[in-house]
Structure 1
Amino acid sequence: MTGYLFVVPPLVGHINPAVGVAAELAARGHPTAWAGLPELLGPLAGPEAVVFPCGVPEFGPGGTAQRPPELRGPAALKFLWEDFLIPLAEAMAPGVEAAVEQFRPDVLVVDQQAVAGALVAERFGLPWATSATTSAEFTGALDGMPLVDAWISDLLTDLRKRIGDPERTGDPRFSPHLTLAFTTPELTGPIADPAGPIRCVGPAVAARRTGPAFPWQWLDPDRATVLVTLGTANTDTGAAFLTACREALRARSGRLQAVIVDPGEVLGAPAPDPDILVLPSVPQLELLERAAAVICHAGHNTVCEALWHGVPLVVAPIRDDQPVVAGQVVAAGAGVRVRFGRTSAVRLGQALDAVLDDPAHRAAARRVGASFRAAGGAARAADHLEALSDRRVP
């Protein structure tokens, strides 16, 4: 049997895809373990998971960087690298090293944003695979921005000198051995191999270990259901947008009902409402089975889970990879894009009407979803990882 160590950042959206892959490997008899934040991994990976704790910088509650909500574009990218990814790698490196020494894995599976795993694997001479929970970085997101690309490369070179093997030169975001992309070209368009082979396996959609209770009896079978969510990392930016969503949805209550996810309670204490249900969290996968449309921030996981279920989207990207993913949704014909910071209830309503009333959007969503299912998900990812462990890696 082969031992696999999963190295993940303290981000739910980056852990969830890996959970399905780890479960598949464990079902095949392979020992698996995790390096990351135990408080987050425990509920997601399950109580039986072997977790080696990794440090995180003093980001604040939940181990996430407190990014100023007004940051967009280059300023947001600068913050992501200088104030989150690089400090996170330095904080995680000792824990990843301890996990390698104690668990003695044969292969590391390293999230793109947990580059400490790649650098430690290099130093120990272990094969490693990249877990790419977003496709933005290998679909030309930095094309035409050579200075930005060079700046990131310089940051990673300096980081390698501190925690990796200074003699190596590869990009730790992309394994030379294997990159698992949790998407397909039907959504992303053409994909270029940045370092080594990329295998598109589609989303690793698996039942969540834990899920919040949900009042299923509230749903009206005679009306279409719309899910509104901005993910788990945007509670500081969404008040105006969620308010506009609520207004647009209330104007369509004769034919629609909506579930709005509001973890920060920016809409205030929810009152009983037959048309709009506001909750801090929802069982998203189960709810998507009943949804007619999704309004979201174009987070990669939410987009892929919606398309997996054949649900079209209204996407309002905020920052990071979200504009790239939103562009993929529109190019695939599976949704409509609106501006996050300058969208009124009228514009949101028009976008939602287009998604619901034009059957081409749902047809495109189903086409992409079919490609996801055909790609194999967690089982296909496990196949590729098993094949990697069978090869001799220099």
Structure 2
Amino acid sequence: MSRFLFVVPPLVGHINPAAAVAGELAARGHEVAWAGHPGLLGRLLTRQDPVFPVATPEEKPRPAGLRGFAALKHLWEEWFVPLAEAMEPGVEQAMTRFHPDLAVVDQQTVAGALVAERSGLRFATSATTSAELLGAAGTPKVDEWIRDRLGELRQRIGSTRAAYDPRFSPLLTIAFTTVDLVGPYPDPGGPVAFVGPALAERPAEPGFPWDWIDAEPDRPVVLLTMGTVNSEAGARFLSECVEAVRERARRLRAVVADPGGALGEEPFRDHDVLIARSVPQLALLERTAAVVCHAGHNTVVEALSNGVPLVVAPIRDDQPAVATQVTEAGAGVRVRFARADRESIGAALDTVLDNPVYAAAAHRIGESFRAAGGAPAAAAHLEKLAIDA
């Protein structure tokens, strides 16, 4: 049996797919350990795998209104690069103490790739979003700017003999999507295994009011979620979404995931709207007619896995790229986050709910996900790579 070390950032959407794959590897008899934020891993993992703690920098809030290259520049300079430098000592200690046969490194924890390369450890990349795979389409200067930042990081914490892009292992990149959704993509310099979403078992949400969900089966439920957005703009958008549903109260109800309390201090429910700090998203999507979201990769693929069409309102980072994939696949409608109001959001909901082509496209993408194999397929690829060492 082999030993696998998962190196992950302190981001829920990046840990959940890795956890599904790790669970599959453990079920096959392999040893699994983690290098990451111990508190977050402790909340998200359902298994008692060893966790090697790593330091993480304090995330600096991005100035309101940052979009495009300005937002990307801030993300790299104020988060990805400091994260790599903070994680480097802990990642090195994890590799030294655990002696893995293979590291499985999240694409955005560049420290994992750079420490592995300088240590001579083989690693695979875990790509939980397809945005890096697609690159900055049509903007080669942006790609060049990112490569320069990666080169500077490599000089400090990697091997100066290496020349590949550390966001992509030269041995294997596991992409948690399919070509049916991604579309054409440039060669990243190494093999890519498209396995579709890896949906992990998650801790239960005690006290979630399933009775409210089941009370009116003839009135479909719409899920409204914007990730961890908790700004004034996020509150405005969610409020407009709620009003769009209330205007359709004879035919719709809404569950609002509001982890930051953007809509108020306390959870709330009435006949038409349920607002909760957290929701059992995977289970809820099995009973959901549509999703309104920020085009976060995990929410999108989880919705499509259930054949649920989307209204997407991307804000920044990888979200515009994922939103484009959704609309080009015919599985959803895009609205503008900063300008959308209850009329435009409501019209988009009417479109995806009333026109069956959107649900059909969502089902088609979901079928491609199931055919790709998910966590078992990813585990099989990693097993082979570890054995071939």
TM-score, normalising length: structure 2: 0.97
Q: In the aligned structure 2, how far is the partner of 1:211 from the partner of 1:379?
A: 25
Alignment-derived partner of residue 175 in structure 1? 169
The Cα shift of 1:72 comes to 1.4
Q: Is this contact kept in 1: 2:294–2:313, CA < 8 A?
A: yes
Q: Report the counterpart of residue 257 of structure 2 in structure 1.
A: 261
Match among 245, 249, 259 for residue 241 of structure 2: 245
Q: In the alignment, is residue 190 of structure 1 matched against residue 184 of structure 2? A: yes
Cα deviation code 1:298-349 (max 9, x no counterpart): 0000000000000000000000010000000001010000000000100000
User: Given the alignment, which residue of 249, 272, 277 partners 2:274?
Assistant: 277
Q: Gaps spanning 5+ residues in structure 2: where?
A: none
Match of 1:344? 341
CA shift for structure 1 position 263: 1.4
Whether 2:43 is the aligned partner of 1:46: answer: no
What residue number does 2:367 align with?
A: 370
Secondary structure of 1:9's match? coil
The change in CA–CA distance for 1:292 and 1:179 in structure 2 (over 3 A counts) is same
User: Partners in 1 of 2:234 and 2:90 — Cα distance?
Assistant: 34
Q: Deviations over 1:112-159 (max 9, x none)?
A: 1101000011011111111000111222x4132122111111111111
CA distance in 2, matches of 1:86, 1:301: 23
Question: In 2, distance between residues paired with 1:42 and 1:90?
Answer: 23
CA distance in 1, matches of 2:8, 2:267: 34
Equivalent AA in structure 1 for residue 225 of structure 2: T
In the alignment, which residue of structure 2 is the partner of 1:89? 84
Q: Determine the structure 2 residue equivalent to 1:322.
A: 319
Please give the secondary structure, in 1, of the residue aligned with 2:261: coil
Give the Cα separation in 2 of the matches to 1:12 and 1:358. Answer: 33
Paired with 1:192 and 1:292, the residues of 2 have a C-alpha distance of: 34
Task: Please state if 1:116 is matched with 2:111.
Answer: yes
How many angstroms does 1:391 deviate by?
2.1
**In 2, are the aligned partners of 1:311 and 1:365 still within 8 Å (CA)?**
yes
Tell me how far apart the structure 1 counterparts of residues 106 and 268 of structure 2 sit (CA, whole Å): 40
Contact 1:131/1:180 (8 A) holds in 2: yes
- Please, which moves more after superposition, 69-78 or 118-127? 69-78
Shift of 1:272: 3.8
Q: Which residue of 2 aligns with 1:62?
A: none
Tell me the equivalent position of 1:31: 31
Equivalent in the alignment of 2:382: 385
Aligned partner letter, 1:41: L
Judged with a 3 Å threshold, the aligned counterparts in structure 2 of structure 1 residues 322 and 148 are, in CA distance, closer, same or farther, namely: same
Equivalent runs, 1:53-92 vs 2, <5 Å = 53-59=53-59, 65-92=60-87
Distance verdict in 2 for CA 1:120–1:148, change over 3 Å:
same
Take 2:161 and 2:183, find their aligned partners in 1: how far apart are those partners? Answer: 35
Please state how far the C-alpha of 1:193 moved relative to its aligned partner: 2.9
The amino acid of 1:39's aligned partner reads G
Q: Runs in 1 of length 4+ with deviation above 6 angstroms?
A: none
1:168 deviates by 1.0
Contact 1:225–1:290, Cα closer than 8 Å, also in 2: yes
Quote how far apart the aligned CAs of 1:69 are. Answer: 3.4
The worse-fitting range, judged by mean Cα deviation, of 11-20 and 267-276 is 267-276
Deviation at 1:47, TM superposition (A): 5.3
Aligned with residue 355 of structure 1, among 347, 352, 356 = 352
Using the size of structure 1 for normalisation, the TM-score is 0.96
Contact 1:212 1:283 (8 Å CA) reproduced: no
Does the aligned pair in 2 maintain the 1:85–1:114 contact within 8 Å? yes
Q: Secondary structure at the match of 1:187?
A: helix
Query: How far did 1:197 drift?
Result: 0.2
Aligned residue number for residue 12 of structure 2: 12
Check 1:155–1:246 CA distance in 2 against 1; reply closer, same or farther (3 A cut): same
CA distance in 1, matches of 2:146, 2:185: 21
CA RMSD of aligned residues (A): 1.2
Report if aligned partners of 2:240, 2:342 keep a CA contact under 8 Å in 1. yes
How many angstroms apart in 1 are the aligned matches of 2:357 and 2:219?
20
Structure 1, unmatched stretches of 5+, are 60-64
Aligned-partner SS, 1:238: helix
Asked whether the 8 Å contact 2:2–2:387 carries over to 1, the reply is: no
Aligned AA for 1:51?
V
| Displacement of 1:73 | 1.1
Map Cα deviations across residues 178-224 of structure 1 (whole Å, 9 max, x no partner).
Answer: 00000001111123330100000000012213435310111221200
Contact 1:42/1:49, CA 8 A, preserved across alignment = no
